[in-house]
Structure 1
Amino acid sequence: MTASTFFQRLVNWFIPQHMSQDLHTRKRVQMFIISHLFGPFIATPIPVVLWLADPNPMPHVLILAASIYAFWPFLALVKLFPRAYTPLAMASVVNLTFAIFWGTYNYGGASSPFLVWLVLVPLLAFMYLGAGWLPRVFVLGAILGGTAGLYALYLVASFPEHIPVENMVVAGLLSALGANIYVFMMAAYYSSVVDSQSELIKEIDRHQETLKALTLAKDEAERANGAKSEFLAKMSHELRTPLNAVLGYSEILLEDAELDGRGEQIADLQKISAAGKHLLSMVNDILDISKIEAGKMVLHLDTIDLNKLIDEIEATARPMAAKNTNSLTVTRGAELGNILTDATKLRQATFNLLSNASKFTQNGQITLDVQRKSEASGDWVEIAVRDTGIGISREQQSALFSNFSQANSKIAAVYGGTGLGLSLSQNLCQLMGGRIEFESQVGQGSCFTIRIPAEGAIMLNDGLEGVVSPRPERTPAAVVPDRPVAQRYERSDGYAGLSGHAANHDSRERLLIIDDDRNFLELAERLFLREDYAPICTDAPQSALQIARTVKPSAIFLDILMPGFDGWDVLAALRADPLTADIPVFMISILSERSKALAAGANGIIMKPLDASKVKAALTALKATRGLARSKVAKG
């Protein structure tokens, strides 16, 4: 241990614990301790010389020496009574003032060489106590009080002459030297403090410049991320628009081929449909990740039956597992019960894990194990997917949950995939207040476990809520009947804005479909006709209100993203009109905006690409709800 280290530890040992946290207070206490450690050593030669030079040194030299060495007990008092630092520092200044004026009175009076020490009184007082109003008043009072006392003694008894003036030369030189050494020591320490503070200020300035640069970089990154999210959303829309036609028409053609027994065409159409669904899945994953990164992903918390959800997942996963001749086993705890979570996102994360297990396992075993566990923080749900597949090496596990990351290029080439599934699933679980844990060994398989709270997300990210605030009301644009209703549905290019099939199928249930994409309308019309509905299609959202008032459809399917008069404007106009306010409205969108749609007055939302099963499910749920309501009214 070096001498400087030992000295620093010694000084720190005397500093009271409650005063060591504040930098400025700590520096003042350090000044107090250092001056009291070295002060008596510096002043010691003065009483020694006076003792030798004074024929009768008793008792005034002993009193001066006692006053000088009284500085050391102050260190012990500060250590014993740390909360009394301020009064102890003030007492020390009084003691110093007394020593100076006592020496001045006994040796030289107004011409005493000891008066030079008086400059230390304000210097040390401000170093010990700071520069507040209390130290200023105290120091001024101590100096004035000491001076007044010295003058009063002079008036009463004059100054004693213990040592002739010619014999005071050595004592005067030692006094001046000691005072200068003391000031030098304190000034040197103070300058080091100032230098360190200057360095600290410079460091703060550097950090502030760094902070400014980081803030600018953060703003640029946020703008770039926003632009990326906007680009992905637009690209998603542009990609899904043709996918609507690909999947919709392939479904229609596939049904026709199955009815006609055209086996070769069935296989080709199945490949087209599978490729379209795979592309749609990738587009959905990319859009979901961009929404998570932008903090715009919303949780829809509902109470769900966990057993029923697992049954649905099992029904979907069994055919997928069987493709590589894998067997799927489902085990579950006895009391799963209901949980509060986002069923869609939990289903998506679990299905992604099962999809990976099925893809990377051949002729093996896949196990889906579901348990509910009670812990101190509440009930947790654990959904484990185990497989006997190829496994993952330790080197490859570090980037397992990164976007577009796969084990290696060889595996990607053999098994395919984009590397988005695990990253998206982990993000979804974190949004739900949980996480995905995993264990894996090469050649022995892997186990991925979803852990989420059973009673909703414990902590949601900024901007995420179980229930989203309603969309601000929009003033609907005026619906101007630019021409008679019967003429408005016919367009100059030959496209029937209002399908002519509606007039020939009055007995069928009428559905009004509003979308600015004519290809989508043609596809929707064919899909609904096959399901025995009477579709009424229009690509003129400004006319939607008048059409709805005229034909009184059983339900309205309304696209959200339309130029000018968009779906929200149409919905507001429909809900504001007494004749159309009660007609069920389902929003059609490529974006998951369920909460916003419900808050705006819609009955639900149907995601594109559109297929008849989604429409059937929506209408069936609506009829069941209305039938239950009518039953309750009748019983009441």
Structure 2
Amino acid sequence: MSPAVWKDRIFKTAPTVALIVGAAMAVDYVVNILLLKAPEVYTPFTTLLVSLVVATPLAYWMTRQRLRLERLRDDLSASLDARQKAIEEADRRRAEAEKAESLYRLLGDNLTDHVALWSPTGERVYSSPSIQRITGYTLEEFMALPPQAMVSKAAFDSVQKLIGGLTPGGPPATADYECTRKDGSSIWLESAYSLLGDGSGILLVTSRDITERKRLELDIAKALELAETASAAKSDFLANMTHELRTPLTAIIGFAEVLRRSRGLNQTAARQVGHILDASNTLLSVVNDVLDFSRLEAGGLELDPAPFDPAAMASSCAALVEERAVAKGLVIKVKTGRGLKPMNLDGPRLSQVLLNFLSNAVKFTAHGEITVALSQKVEDGAAILRGAVTDTGIGIAPEHLDNIFDRFSQADAAVSRRFGGTGLGLAISRRIVERMDGQIGVDSVEGQGSTFWFEVRGPLAELAAPEADAAPPLDGEAGVRLLLVEDNAVNRELVKAMLEPFGVEVETANDGVAGVEAMRQGQFDLVLMDVQMPVMDGLTATREIRAMEGARGAATPIVAMTANVLPEQIATCLAAGMDDHLGKPINPTKLLEAVARWSGRTHTKP
């Protein structure tokens, strides 16, 4: 026992010992002195010693008993306190459980979604009352139904397969399926399935009515289908109209070009032929603008970046309008900055923008000059190309500057009546430049002229070396034997008139069947193949010719010559086995270039 405990015990025992000793001393005094009157018998020292010897163990024992009783009392009190706390905690937890149960029951009874628990053996353990609102069955009726009662066998098997892939405590899996209500009507449910992670094997299923969402999805799908049908109809209409317009334009422009180059016309006839050719080219430009704009609005513009020379582009575009400009007495100047570097952009599309600017400048300028200016700012391996066309024409009123790049916009109706055109060229140009993430704009003073400009950014590039085996131009000694497969007699006559002066022997076939037979019977340097023909179209004829040539490993070049000029139509021609494409109306220069390029060559199969 520690000294501190001993000290505490002695401290608590001392009062008792003192009390006993004092009592013994008092009794000894009273008996011997007061009662017996025998002082000689009174021995206080002895009494003190005896009482100490007796009182000390007795007091120690009594103190221990008192302390033990105090500890028992304290332990009993603590036990009673702990019991009371346990009772209070149990009461609190029971109250919380009853409250939670009440809340869960309230939640389950008022859920719009359905909650169900299934035992591992496939029996329903619980179903929320909301099932009656969803299916029309009362809770008791639904609990008695077999699991597959409301769904088709295929839907039931699909859900069972989904449940079979679940893992306890893992993520839920969802499924949509159609159900039959008690009244026979159909609804769509979306259910989430999950296995509880407590080892019980209980399956938790939550379901909700998604009939309205499914109806909306079906409506959207139907609307999308209608939109796609309308878009396809629009595309078909554009393709058909383009073909039907280009086919007669081929004859008009082609023969007008032949007549214009003829030396047998007098001055009046030559001027009239020139008018025919100008009007036909204007109509062709309208057709091309409408087609281009329709494709741009439909999001059909795909850029094809490739290395190109901006200076060469400017010179080429200026050359294309030079004849019309000279006829009006206009001068075209091309200014390019020093060291203009090649860039990797869609050059043909930029040429289209620049050509639109130039065509408008020629159209709206009566006298003076037109300037094409290109400049370039190089930074970090890329460059900003700025192109501008400045004219001395009629200019644009301030109130029309904001909408000049809108479709069908041509400043005002008077301008449209005076100069003609669709007002689509600038709208097309804006879409092309914006598709390149560039900027486009105009600066103009009414009565003094305009400057149309664009800025595009792109990487610098290196131009590929020109091909060394470029085809020589055709001449009267070319000796090319060509098969023309074309159902339109006027177009057959036109192509012969264009090619025969250059020593090209043209044999014709009026449909695909005749073309295949001609290839079977003879040898040709080149085939010009129309696409839309009766009896057999050009695509089928091309496939049969390629199959007929078969194992020889090399084949006669076939060039599509058709009014089908949409990108997807060109791709279809190439996929059928054709080597190149010429669009109608036929450009004499491009026709001669194609014949010179492909005649005498072979198409090597990959």
1:117 deviation in Å?
8.6
8 Å contact kept, 1:373–1:379:
yes
CA distance in 2 between partners of 1:352 and 1:403 (Å): 14
CA distance in 2 between partners of 1:300 and 1:418 (Å): 27
> 1:516/1:433 Cα in 2 relative to 1: closer, same or farther (>3 Å)?
farther
8 Å contact kept, 1:382–1:452:
yes
What is the identity, as a one-letter code, of the residue corresponding to 2:271? A
CA distance in 1 between partners of 2:415 and 2:504 (Å): 48
8 Å contact kept, 1:379–1:454:
yes
8 Å contact kept, 2:478–2:502:
no
Residue 349 of structure 1 aligns to a residue whose secondary structure is helix
8 Å contact kept, 1:380–1:454:
yes
1:105 deviation in Å?
6.2
CA distance in 1 between partners of 2:96 and 2:365 (Å): 90
1:596 deviation in Å?
4.6
> 1:115/1:513 Cα in 2 relative to 1: closer, same or farther (>3 Å)?
closer
1:280 deviation in Å?
1.2
1:396 deviation in Å?
2.5
Could you tell me which residue of structure 2 aligns to residue 575 of structure 1? 546
Does 1:539 pair with 2:510? Answer: yes
With 331-340 and 317-326 compared, the bigger mean Cα shift is at: 317-326
1:358 deviation in Å?
2.3
> 1:405/1:624 Cα in 2 relative to 1: closer, same or farther (>3 Å)?
farther
8 Å contact kept, 1:506–1:534:
no
Could you tell me which residue of structure 1 aligns to residue 334 of structure 2? 330
1:259-270 → structure 2 map (5 Å cutoff)? 259-270=263-274
**CA offsets, 1:223-252, max 9 Å, x none?**
333322221221111111111121122223
Does 1:339 pair with 2:343? Answer: yes
> 1:117/1:224 Cα in 2 relative to 1: closer, same or farther (>3 Å)?
closer
CA distance in 2 between partners of 1:262 and 1:407 (Å): 40
Residue 527 of structure 1 aligns to a residue whose secondary structure is helix
CA distance in 2 between partners of 1:123 and 1:398 (Å): 69
CA distance in 2 between partners of 1:549 and 1:111 (Å): 102
8 Å contact kept, 1:229–1:294:
no
What is the identity, as a one-letter code, of the residue corresponding to 2:559? F
**Of 293, 310, 321, which aligns to 1:317?**
321
More helix by share: 1
Could you tell me which residue of structure 2 aligns to residue 557 of structure 1? 528
> 1:302/1:600 Cα in 2 relative to 1: closer, same or farther (>3 Å)?
farther
Could you tell me which residue of structure 2 aligns to residue 242 of structure 1? 248
Across the two proteins, how many residue pairs are aligned to each other? Answer: 403
1:435 deviation in Å?
4.8
Could you tell me which residue of structure 1 aligns to residue 400 of structure 2? 396
CA distance in 1 between partners of 2:490 and 2:217 (Å): 52
**CA offsets, 1:273-295, max 9 Å, x none?**
11111111111221222233344
1:612 deviation in Å?
3.3
Could you tell me which residue of structure 2 aligns to residue 421 of structure 1? 425
What is the identity, as a one-letter code, of the residue corresponding to 1:392? I
> 1:396/1:224 Cα in 2 relative to 1: closer, same or farther (>3 Å)?
farther
CA distance in 2 between partners of 1:113 and 1:454 (Å): 75
Does 1:230 pair with 2:201? Answer: no
1:511 deviation in Å?
0.9
8 Å contact kept, 2:310–2:340:
yes
Residue 236 of structure 1 aligns to a residue whose secondary structure is helix
What is the identity, as a one-letter code, of the residue corresponding to 1:557? L
Structure 2 unaligned regions, length at least 5: 1-80, 106-110, 112-209, 462-475
8 Å contact kept, 1:587–1:597:
yes
Does 1:615 pair with 2:591? Answer: yes
1:59-74 → structure 2 map (5 Å cutoff)? none
CA distance in 1 between partners of 2:396 and 2:215 (Å): 44
8 Å contact kept, 1:324–1:359:
no
What is the identity, as a one-letter code, of the residue corresponding to 2:431? N
CA distance in 1 between partners of 2:478 and 2:597 (Å): 22
Residue 260 of structure 1 aligns to a residue whose secondary structure is coil
Could you tell me which residue of structure 2 aligns to residue 588 of structure 1? 561
Could you tell me which residue of structure 2 aligns to residue 287 of structure 1? 291
Could you tell me which residue of structure 2 aligns to residue 254 of structure 1? 260
1:381-530 → structure 2 map (5 Å cutoff)? 381-432=385-436, 434-455=438-459, 508-530=479-501
8 Å contact kept, 1:587–1:604:
yes
CA distance in 1 between partners of 2:411 and 2:590 (Å): 36
CA distance in 2 between partners of 1:117 and 1:509 (Å): 101
CA distance in 2 between partners of 1:538 and 1:624 (Å): 21
> 1:429/1:542 Cα in 2 relative to 1: closer, same or farther (>3 Å)?
farther
CA-based RMSD? 4.3
8 Å contact kept, 2:315–2:334:
no
**CA offsets, 1:475-514, max 9 Å, x none?**
xxxxxxxxxxxxxxxxxxxxxxxxxxxxxx9993211100
Residue 454 of structure 2 aligns to a residue whose secondary structure is strand
Question: What is the TM-score normalised by the length of structure 1?
Answer: 0.54
1:453 deviation in Å?
4.2
1:585 deviation in Å?
1.5
Structure 1 unaligned regions, length at least 5: 1-101, 132-203, 458-504, 630-636
1:173-192 → structure 2 map (5 Å cutoff)? none
What is the identity, as a one-letter code, of the residue corresponding to 2:560? M
8 Å contact kept, 2:311–2:374:
no
CA distance in 1 between partners of 2:527 and 2:484 (Å): 6
**CA offsets, 1:23-72, max 9 Å, x none?**
xxxxxxxxxxxxxxxxxxxxxxxxxxxxxxxxxxxxxxxxxxxxxxxxxx
> 1:625/1:110 Cα in 2 relative to 1: closer, same or farther (>3 Å)?
closer
8 Å contact kept, 2:511–2:536:
no
1:118 deviation in Å?
8.6
Residue 268 of structure 1 aligns to a residue whose secondary structure is helix
CA distance in 1 between partners of 2:382 and 2:221 (Å): 39
8 Å contact kept, 1:525–1:537:
no
**CA offsets, 1:520-561, max 9 Å, x none?**
112222222233311101113113233124331111111122
> 1:249/1:449 Cα in 2 relative to 1: closer, same or farther (>3 Å)?
same
> 1:112/1:216 Cα in 2 relative to 1: closer, same or farther (>3 Å)?
closer
1:617 deviation in Å?
1.1
CA distance in 1 between partners of 2:227 and 2:380 (Å): 40
More strand by share: 2
Could you tell me which residue of structure 1 aligns to residue 24 of structure 2? none
1:88-99 → structure 2 map (5 Å cutoff)? none
What is the identity, as a one-letter code, of the residue corresponding to 1:513? L
1:156-195 → structure 2 map (5 Å cutoff)? none
CA distance in 2 between partners of 1:377 and 1:207 (Å): 53
> 1:553/1:355 Cα in 2 relative to 1: closer, same or farther (>3 Å)?
same
What is the identity, as a one-letter code, of the residue corresponding to 2:389? V
CA distance in 2 between partners of 1:603 and 1:113 (Å): 89
8 Å contact kept, 1:432–1:456:
no
1:440 deviation in Å?
3.6
1:434 deviation in Å?
4.0
> 1:338/1:241 Cα in 2 relative to 1: closer, same or farther (>3 Å)?
same
CA distance in 1 between partners of 2:584 and 2:294 (Å): 18
Residue 555 of structure 2 aligns to a residue whose secondary structure is coil
Residue 411 of structure 1 aligns to a residue whose secondary structure is helix
